[in-house]
Amino acid sequence: MKLYVETTKYKLQNSAQCPFSIHVALALTLCGARGSTEREMRTILSHGNPNIHRALGQLIEKQTFSIANAIFMNDKSTFNNTYIADLNQHYKNVPAKTVDFATTARTEINRWASDNTHGKIQEIIPSGDVNGNTKIVIANAVYFKEQWKTRFDKKHTKRENFHTVERYSIQVDMMHKTSSREQYGELTITQNLNHYHSTIRTTNIA
């Protein structure tokens, strides 16, 4: 919510935010922070729990969808061995590698994103976003594909207005379904991240 409030201060194009992905990316950064930097980051992330990395790592492993994380650093620098050890201990399968941001890094990172989203995300680093002065990129990709428990009938799909952030409307295909018992999941993560559960509520949708 804090991130949403901050980003809405600026004029943005239509976008979607994944708070969990952003949280994990910042946690990977926190893993290497010490002293005042660590205290400030824990304050921002609202984490006083010293076991935050272990809890997050376990949470990621429990997901039924695919969450991939990676760290790419300028090849003129080297990773701290303690940091790499902490990553390997708490977060499984998080590659940390050095790349040449002036030449091949953009291609490598975009290929990584494509490989980890079954080709659905072809580009997360647009042209011009990194250069020889870039120090580090923390990348996160989420892939989810599942069948509807109760499918929408294609014949009920119709064109309707979708309102954009620029305050104008465009016509898009909208699915429709009327039911008295549609379910949705609500994710609740407590501050210490030791409890993770989904709750199902009943609601009417049309």
**pLDDT tens track for 30-61:** 888 888 988 888 887 766 667 777 777 766 66
Q: Are residues 71 and 16 in the same domain?
A: yes
Return contacts of 88-94, CB within 8 angstroms, 24+ apart.
89/53, 90/31, 90/53, 90/54, 90/56, 90/57, 91/28, 91/31, 91/53, 91/56, 91/57, 91/60, 92/57, 92/60, 92/61, 93/68, 94/28, 94/69, 94/70
pLDDT at 167: 74
**pLDDT tens track for 56-112:** 776 666 655 677 889 999 999 999 999 888 888 887 778 899 999 999 999 999 999
Q: Tell me the C-alpha to C-alpha distance, in Å, between residue 153 and each of 1, 126, 144, 184.
A: 34, 37, 21, 18
Average pLDDT over residues 155-182: 80
Examine residue 70 and state whether it is found in any structural domain, yes or no: yes
Q: Are residues 50 and 90 in the same domain?
A: yes
Q: What gap in Å lies between CA 22 and CA 139, rounded to an integer?
A: 9
Examine residue 104 and state whether it is found in any structural domain, yes or no: yes
Q: What gap in Å lies between CA 51 and CA 55, rounded to an integer?
A: 6
Q: Are residues 8 and 90 in the same domain?
A: yes
Structure tokens at 195: 């409890």
Q: What gap in Å lies between CA 97 and CA 109, rounded to an integer?
A: 11
Average pLDDT over residues 165-192: 65
Examine residue 148 and state whether it is found in any structural domain, yes or no: no
**Predicted structure pTM score:** 0.57
Structure tokens at 8: 């809405």
Element (DSSP H or E) covering residue 161: strand 158-163
User: Can you give the C-alpha Rg of the chain in angstroms?
Assistant: 20
Tallying the residues shown for the chain, one arrives at 206
Q: Are residues 48 and 124 in the same domain?
A: yes
Domain span at 111: 2-143
pLDDT at 206: 37
Do residues 66 and 116 lie in contact, with contact meaning Cβ atoms separated by under 8 Å? Answer: yes
Examine residue 38 and state whether it is found in any structural domain, yes or no: yes
Q: Confidence class of residue 169 from pLDDT cuts 50, 70 and 90?
A: confident
| Position 201 pLDDT exceeds 90 | no
**pLDDT tens track for 134-149:** 999 999 888 877 677 7
Q: Are residues 121 and 158 in the same domain?
A: no
Structure tokens at 172: 């898009």
CA atoms within 13 A on the CB side of 75: 10
Examine residue 179 and state whether it is found in any structural domain, yes or no: yes
Examine residue 22 and state whether it is found in any structural domain, yes or no: yes
Q: Are residues 122 and 182 in the same domain?
A: no
Q: Are residues 130 and 174 in the same domain?
A: no
Give the percent of the chain with pLDDT over 70.
Answer: 70
Higher pLDDT, 140 or 22: 140
What is the tally of structural domains in the chain?
Answer: 2
| Position 180 pLDDT exceeds 70 | no
Q: Are residues 22 and 98 in the same domain?
A: yes
Examine residue 149 and state whether it is found in any structural domain, yes or no: no
Average pLDDT over residues 102-127: 92
Average pLDDT over residues 165-179: 81
